[in-house]
C-alpha cells in the first residue's frame, strides 16, 4: 500500500508538499500582514489627505493621490493572478511586497502632490499583488476542507483595516511631528516595518514547488485591459468635479468602451493564454460569482461610505470618532467570515451564505434608508454596521472559494484575482456613483429643509440674534445661506461641527434625507444580487486535486492488483 501511495504522489507533483497546521499558520502571518498593508492603505489616507495636501500646497491635486492608487491596484490585480499561474506565487508575492515597500518609502519622502500621486501609483502596483495572491497561496497550501477556515482570517483583516485606517490616519495627521518627522508622513512610513515583517516571513517560510509553465504572456490583453480600466476609473473618481457629461468624461467613456472591445477580442484570440480566459465565463459558478462580486462591490462598498458620511456630516463626529464607531462593522465581518469559513470547511456547501449575506445586506440598506435622521441615536448606525459586516462576511469569502474551485488548479491565480478584480471595480463604480448621487440629492433636500426652517419665526429670530451672527464659528453658515445649497458650497462642510446646532439643523437634515435616498438605491442593487445568488449551483465544493489523487490511487491499485485466472472446468 505504501508503494501505491508513493506512486500517486509522484503523479500529482503540486500536492507533494503537505503543510502542517503550524507551517500554514506561520505563512498565514506573512500573508495577513500583506493583506493588511493593501487594505489599510485604501482607508488610512482618506482622513489625512487634506492635511497632506495643505502641507504640500496642492489641495486642488489631492484627489489624484487616491485616483493613482485605485487605478494601479485595480489594473495590476488580474496581471498578478495570471503571471503567478505561470511563474509561481512566491516570486510574484515577494515582488509585490517589495514594490509596495518602495512606494511607501517614496510617499513618506515626497515634497509635492505630483510626487505623492506617483508614489501612490507605485504603492498601488504592489497592493494589486498583495490583494490577489494571498488568497491564491492559501488555495495552494490548504486543502479545500480547511480552506474556508483560513481564508476567513483575510476577510477579518479587511474589516479591521477598514476601521483602523481612518483612526490611524487621523491620529498621524493631527500630530505635528513624531520622532522629528512630520506627523502625516507616518501615514506611509508605518507601512515599512509591517512590510519588512511580511517579507521576512514569506521569504523564510513560504516554499512552494517551482513553476514555469511554457505559456506565452498575454501582452495584448494586458494592454487592452489597461486601456479599458484607466479611463473608466479616472472618470469614476473625477467625474463629479469634471461633470458627468463634460468633454473629459465623454473621452473617458469612449476610451473605456474601446478598451473593453479590444480586451474581448484579445482574450478570444489568446485562448488559454488569455489574462482572463473567456471560456471561464461559460462556467455557471464562475460567471455568476463574478457578477455577484461586482454587484456587491457597487452596492456595498459605495454604501458603506455613507455610514461615516452620516456620522460626520449629520451627527458631527470627527473622522477618528466615526472610525471608532465603525468597530461594530469589524465585529460583523469577523463573525460572518469566520462562521461561513468554518461551516464551509465542515460541509463543503457554500450557496446558502451568499443568499443569506445578500439578504442581510439588502435589509441593512433598507433599514438605514428609513431610520437614519438627525435625531437618531448612535446605537442605530452601530447596529446597521454590524449587519453590513455580517452580510459582507457571508458573501466575500464563499464567492472567492467558489471561483477558485470553478477553474482548474493551474488557473487558481486567475480565479482568485478575478474575484478581487470584479469586487474592486464594483467598489470604485459604487463609490463614485453614490457620492455623486449623495451631493446631487443633498443640494435639493437642503434647499427644501431650509425653506421650511425659514418659515419658522423662532428660526428667523435666532438668525437675527447679534451674538449668533457675530460668532466666528457661524460665519461659514451665514456664507452658506448667502450662496445657497449649490454643489460647490457643499465641498467643505467641516464648519458644521462648530456652528450653531439649531441653525445647522436643516442642512444636516437635508444630508440625512439624501443619504436615505442613496441607501434605498443601494438596497435595490443588493436585492438584485440576492436574486442572482439563487442561481448559483446548489452543490458541494470538490477539490479537483484531491479527486485526481484519489483517481490516481485507484488506477495504481488496479495496475498492481494480481491477475486471477478463471477456474478450469
**What pLDDT, in 10s, does the model give residues 476-486?**
777 777 766 55
Q: Which residues contact 147 (CB under 8 A, 6 or more apart)?
A: 138, 139, 344, 345, 401, 404
Find out whether 369 and 520 touch, Cβ atoms under 8 Å: yes
Give the model confidence (pLDDT) of 386-400 as tens digits: 998 899 889 887 888
In a domain, 22, yes or no: yes
Q: Which residues contact 129 (CB under 8 A, 6 or more apart)?
A: 76, 77, 80, 92, 93, 95, 96, 97, 99
pLDDT of 16 higher than 70: no
pLDDT of 562 higher than 60: no
- Residue 489 shares a structural domain with residue 537: yes
Residue span of the structural domain in which 257 resides: 219-274
Of 189-203, 255-269, 359-373, 454-468, the one with minimum mean pLDDT is 454-468
- Residue 324 shares a structural domain with residue 365: yes
Three-state SS sequence of 152-174: HHHHHHHHHHHHHHHHHHHHHHH
Residues forming a β-bridge with 177: 182
pLDDT at 557: 55
- Residue 365 shares a structural domain with residue 503: yes
In a domain, 470, yes or no: yes
Of the candidates 201, 213, 229, the one whose C-alpha atom is nearest the C-alpha of residue 128 is: 229
Cell of 331: 465585529
> Which percentage of the chain shows pLDDT scores above 70?
85
For 95, other C-beta atoms within 10 Å of its C-beta total: 18
- Residue 91 shares a structural domain with residue 20: yes
Domains: count for the chain: 3
Using CA atoms, how far apart are residues 74 and 465, in angstroms rounded to an integer?
53
- Residue 293 shares a structural domain with residue 265: no
Of the candidates 269, 310, 352, the one whose C-alpha atom is nearest the C-alpha of residue 515 is: 310
pLDDT at 196: 92
Length, in residues, of the chain: 569
In a domain, 509, yes or no: yes
DSSP labels, 61-128 = GHHHHHHHHHHHHHHHHHHHHHHHHHH-HHHHHHHHHHHHHHHHHHHTT-SSHHHHHHHHHHHHHHHH
Find out whether 399 and 135 touch, Cβ atoms under 8 Å: no
The helix-helix angle for 379-406 and 113-141 (nearest 10°) equals 60
- What backbone torsions phi and psi does residue 275 show, to the nearest 5 degrees? -55, -50
In a domain, 2, yes or no: no
Using CA atoms, how far apart are residues 199 and 368, in angstroms rounded to an integer?
41
Give the model confidence (pLDDT) of 280-316 as tens digits: 888 888 888 889 988 888 877 666 778 877 887 788 8
CA distances from 262 to 259, 416, 547 (A): 5, 23, 38
Output 488 or 451, whichever has higher pLDDT.
451
- Residue 297 shares a structural domain with residue 322: yes
In a domain, 437, yes or no: yes
- Residue 188 shares a structural domain with residue 65: yes
Give the model confidence (pLDDT) of 365-381 as tens digits: 999 989 888 888 889 98
- Residue 193 shares a structural domain with residue 70: yes
In a domain, 567, yes or no: no
In a domain, 561, yes or no: no
In a domain, 7, yes or no: no
Q: What is the dihedral of CA 126, 130, 136, 142, to 10 degrees?
A: 140
Give the model confidence (pLDDT) of 47-75 as tens digits: 677 678 777 776 556 667 777 888 888 88
- Residue 318 shares a structural domain with residue 226: no
- Residue 145 shares a structural domain with residue 259: no
Output 244 or 126, whichever has higher pLDDT.
126
Q: Which residues contact 409 (CB under 8 A, 6 or more apart)?
A: 14, 544, 545
Q: Which residues contact 354 (CB under 8 A, 6 or more apart)?
A: 292, 394, 395, 398, 399, 533, 536
DSSP labels, 229-271 = HHHHHHHHHHHHHH-TTSHHHHHHHHHHHHHHHHHHHHHHHHG
CATH of the domain at 479: 1.20.1250.20
Amino acid at each position: 500500500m505504501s508503494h501505491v501511495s508513493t506512486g500517486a504522489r509522484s503523479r500529482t507533483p503540486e500536492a507533494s508538499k503537505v503543510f502542517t497546521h503550524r507551517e500554514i499558520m506561520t505563512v498565514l502571518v506573512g500573508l495577513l500582514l500583506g493583506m493588511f498593508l493593501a487594505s489599510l492603505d485604501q482607508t488610512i489616507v482618506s482622513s489625512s489627505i487634506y492635511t497632506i495636501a495643505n502641507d504640500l500646497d496642492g489641495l486642488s491635486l489631492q484627489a489624484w493621490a487616491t485616483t493613482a492608487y485605485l487605478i494601479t491596484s485595480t489594473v495590476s490585480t488580474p496581471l498578478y493572478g495570471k503571471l503567478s499561474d505561470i511563474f509561481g506565487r512566491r516570486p510574484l508575492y515577494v515582488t509585490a511586497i517589495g514594490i509596495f515597500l518602495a512606494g511607501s518609502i517614496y510617499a513618506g519622502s515626497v515634497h509635492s502632490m505630483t510626487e505623492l500621486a506617483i508614489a501612490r501609483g507605485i504603492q498601488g502596483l504592489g497592493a494589486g499583488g498583495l490583494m490577489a495572491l494571498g488568497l491564491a497561496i492559501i488555495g495552494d497550501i490548504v486543502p479545500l476542507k480547511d480552506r474556508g477556515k483560513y481564508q476567513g482570517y483575510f476577510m477579518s483583516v479587511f474589516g479591521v483595516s477598514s476601521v483602523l485606517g481612518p483612526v490611524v490616519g487621523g491620529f498621524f495627521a493631527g500630530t505635528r511631528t513624531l520622532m522629528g518627522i512630520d506627523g502625516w508622513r507616518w501615514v506611509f512610513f508605518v507601512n515599512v516595518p509591517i512590510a519588512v515583517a511580511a517579507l521576512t516571513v514569506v521569504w523564510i517560510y513560504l516554499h512552494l514547488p517551482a513553476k514555469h509553465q511554457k505559456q506565452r504572456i498575454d501582452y495584448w490583453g494586458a494592454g487592452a485591459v489597461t486601456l479599458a480600466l484607466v479611463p473608466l476609473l479616472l472618470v469614476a473618481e473625477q467625474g463629479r468635479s469634471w461633470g458627468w457629461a463634460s468633454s473629459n468624461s465623454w473621452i473617458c467613456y469612449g476610451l473605456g468602451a474601446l478598451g473593453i472591445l479590444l480586451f474581448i477580442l484579445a482574450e478570444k484570440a489568446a485562448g488559454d493564454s488569455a489574462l482572463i480566459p473567456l471560456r471561464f465565463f461559460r462556467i455557471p459558478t464562475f460567471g455568476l460569482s463574478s457578477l455577484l462580486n461586482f454587484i456587491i462591490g457597487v452596492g456595498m462598498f459605495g454604501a458603506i461610505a455613507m455610514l461615516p458620511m452620516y456620522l460626520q456630516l449629520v451627527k458631527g463626529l470627527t473622522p477618528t470618532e466615526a472610525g471608532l464607531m465603525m468597530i461594530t462593522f469589524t465585529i460583523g465581518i469577523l463573525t460572518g467570515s469566520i462562521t461561513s469559513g468554518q461551516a464551509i470547511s465542515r460541509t463543503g456547501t457554500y450557496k446558502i451564505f451568499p443568499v443569506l449575506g445578500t439578504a442581510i445586506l439588502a435589509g441593512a440598506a433598507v433599514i438605514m434608508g428609513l431610520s437614519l435622521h438627525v435625531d437618531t441615536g448612535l446605537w442605530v448606525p452601530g447596529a446597521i454596521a454590524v449587519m453590513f459586516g455580517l452580510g459582507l462576511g457571508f458573501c466575500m469569502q464563499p464567492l472567492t472559494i467558489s471561483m477558485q474551485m470553478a477553474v482548474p488548479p493551474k488557473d487558481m491565480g486567475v480565479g482568485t484575482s478575478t474575484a478581487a478584480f470584479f469586487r474592486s471595480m464594483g467598489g470604485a463604480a459604487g463609490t463614485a456613483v453614490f457620492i455623486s448621487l449623495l451631493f446631487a440629492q443633498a443640494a435639493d433636500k437642503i434647499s427644501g429643509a431650509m425653506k421650511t426652517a425659514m418659515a419658522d419665526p423662532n428660526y428667523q429670530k435666532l438668525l437675527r440674534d447679534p451674538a449668533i451672527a457675530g460668532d466666528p464659528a457661524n460665519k461659514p453658515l451665514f456664507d452658506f445661506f448667502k450662496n445657497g445649497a449649490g454643489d460647490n458650497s457643499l465641498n467643505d462642510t467641516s464648519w458644521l461641527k462648530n456652528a450653531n446646532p439649531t441653525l445647522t439643523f436643516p442642512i444636516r437634515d437635508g444630508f440625512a434625507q439624501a443619504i436615505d435616498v442613496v441607501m434605498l438605491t443601494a438596497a435595490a442593487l443588493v436585492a438584485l444580487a440576492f436574486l442572482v445568488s439563487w442561481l448559483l449551483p446548489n452543490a458541494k465544493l470538490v477539490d479537483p486535486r484531491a479527486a485526481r489523487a484519489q483517481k490516481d490511487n485507484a488506477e495504481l491499485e488496479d495496475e498492481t492488483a494480481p491477475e486471477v485466472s478463471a477456474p478450469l472446468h
